[in-house]
Structure 1
Amino acid sequence: MQNKKAKILIADDDPMVRNTVSKILEMFGHRVETVVDGSGVMEVINDSFDVIILDINMPGMDGFATISQLNKMEYDIPVLFLTGAGSMDYAVKAINLGAYDFLTKPIEDLDIFNVKIRRAIEKRMYVIKDRLYREALEDDVRKKAEMLEEQNKLLLTYSENLEKATVQLMSSMQNAMEEKDYYTAGHTMRVTEYAAVLGRAMDLKEEDQLVLRRASQFHDIGKLVIDLSCIQKPGKLTEEEWILIRKHPSVGANIVKPLKFMGRERFIIRHHHERIDGKGYPDGMHGNQLDQLTKILTVVDSYDAMTSKRNYRKNMDMEEALTELHSCSGTQFDRDTVEVFSKTIVHYNLKSSVFTEDFFGKYTLPKN
Structure 2
Amino acid sequence: MELLPNILFIDDDTDILEIYHLAFQNEEISIHTASNGFDACKMVEECRMDIVFIDLMMPGLNGIETLKRLKGIDPDIDVVMLTAYGSVESAVEAMKEGAYDYLHKPFEIDKLKTTIKNILQKRHLSFNLDKKIAELSAIHEATRILSSTTDFDDLASVIMGTIVRVMHADEGSLMLLDKTADELYIKTSKGINEEIVKTQRIKRGDDVAGWVLEQNEPLLIVGNTIADDPKFINVTKRQEILSSIFVPLQMRDGVNGVLIMNRTKTRVSFTMDDLILTSIFAAEIGGAIERSKTYATLEEKMTELIGLNIKLKNLFLNTVTALSSAIDAKDPYTMGHSSQVQKHVLDIANEMNFSSDEKNLMSIIGLLHDIGKIGIKDGVLTKPGVLEKDEWEQIKKHPTIGAEIIKHIDMFNDVSEIILYHHERYDGKGYPHGLKGEQIPLKSRILTVADSFDAMVSKRPYRDPMPRERAIAEIKSGSGSQFDPDVVVAFLRVLEREDAAIRAIEDLE
TM-score w.r.t. length of structure 1: 0.52
In the TM superposition, what is the alpha-carbon distance from 1:159 to its structure 2 partner?
Answer: 7.6
Answering whether residue 446 of structure 2 is matched by residue 296 of structure 1, we say yes
Q: Report the CA distance between 1:210 and its aligned residue.
A: 0.8
**Cα drift, residue 160 of structure 1:** 4.6
1:141 paired residue among 128, 131, 134: 134
Normalized per residue, which structure has more strand? Answer: 2
Residues 175 and 315 (structure 1), Cα distance of their counterparts in 2 relative to 1, 3 Å cut: closer
Aligned counterparts of 1:216 and 1:345: Cα–Cα separation in 2: 18
Is 1:348 aligned to 2:498, yes or no? yes
Gaps of 5+ in 2: 1-128, 136-165, 169-271, 284-306, 501-509
Residues 39-68 of structure 1, C-alpha deviations (whole Å, 9 max, x = no match): xxxxxxxxxxxxxxxxxxxxxxxxxxxxxx
> What's the offset of the Cα at 1:233?
3.0
Q: 1:165 to 1:259 in 2, by over 3 A?
A: same
In the TM superposition, residue 223 of structure 1 has moved relative to its aligned partner by: 0.8
Distance in 2 (alpha carbons) for counterparts of 1:312 and 1:191: 21
Q: Which of 246, 253, 270 is the matching residue for 2:420?
A: 270
> Does the aligned pair in 1 maintain the 2:424–2:432 contact within 8 Å?
yes
Work out whether residues 320 and 367 of structure 2, in 8 Å CA contact, stay in contact via their aligned partners in 1.
no
Q: CA deviation at 1:196?
A: 1.2
Deviation at 1:273, TM superposition (A): 0.4
Choose which of 297, 307, 314 in structure 1 pairs with 2:464: 314
Residue 227 of structure 2 corresponds to residue 234 of structure 1? no
Deviations 1:224-271 (A, max 9, x none): 122143342322222221111111000000000111111111111111
Corresponding residue for 2:481? Answer: 331
Deviation at 1:174, TM superposition (A): 2.8
Match of 2:367 among 195, 198, 217: 217
2:330 matched to which residue of 1? 180
- Matched residues in 2 for 1:192 and 1:139: separation? 20
Once residues 405 and 374 of structure 2 are traced to their aligned partners in structure 1, the CA distance between those partners, rounded to angstroms, is 10
Amino acid at match of 2:461: N
Measure the CA separation in 1 of the matches of 2:368 and 2:444.
13
Give the deviation of 1:161 after TM superposition: 2.5
Distance 2:427 2:355 in 1: 27
For residues 132 and 356 of structure 2, the distance between their equivalents in structure 1, rounded to whole angstroms, comes to: 33
One-letter code aligned to 2:499: N
Give per-residue Cα distances to partners, 1:62-109, cap 9 Å, x unaligned.
xxxxxxxxxxxxxxxxxxxxxxxxxxxxxxxxxxxxxxxxxxxxxxxx
> Is there any run of 5+ residues in structure 1 with no aligned partner, and where?
1-135, 351-368
Which residue does the alignment assign to 1:205? Answer: 355
> CA separation in 1, counterparts of 2:371 and 2:454?
17
Aligned-pair Cα RMSD in Å = 3.4
Structure 1 pair 263–311 and aligned structure 2 pair: CA distance change class (3 A): same
The equivalent residue for 1:164 is 314
Q: With the length of structure 2 as denominator, give the TM-score of the two structures.
A: 0.38
Distance 2:466 2:336 in 1: 17
Matches within 5 A, 1:25-40: none
| Letter of the 1:209 counterpart | K
Shift of 1:307: 1.0
Distance 1:321 1:144 in 2: 45
Report the CA distance shift for 1:338/1:228 in structure 2 as closer, same or farther (over 3 A): farther
- Cα shift at 1:209: 0.5
Question: 1:69-218 counterparts in 2 under 5 A?
Answer: 141-142=134-135, 143=166, 147=273, 150=276, 160-218=310-368
- Measured in 1, the distance between the counterparts of 2:326 and 2:400 equals 19
Q: Considering Cα pairs closer than 8 Å and 6+ residues apart, tell me whether 1 or 2 has the greater RCO.
A: 1
Off by >6 Å, runs of 4+ in structure 1: 156-159
**Residue identity matched to 2:134:** V
Identity, % of aligned pairs? Answer: 34
1: CA distance between counterparts of 2:167 and 2:455? 29
Describe the SS at the equivalent of 1:349. helix
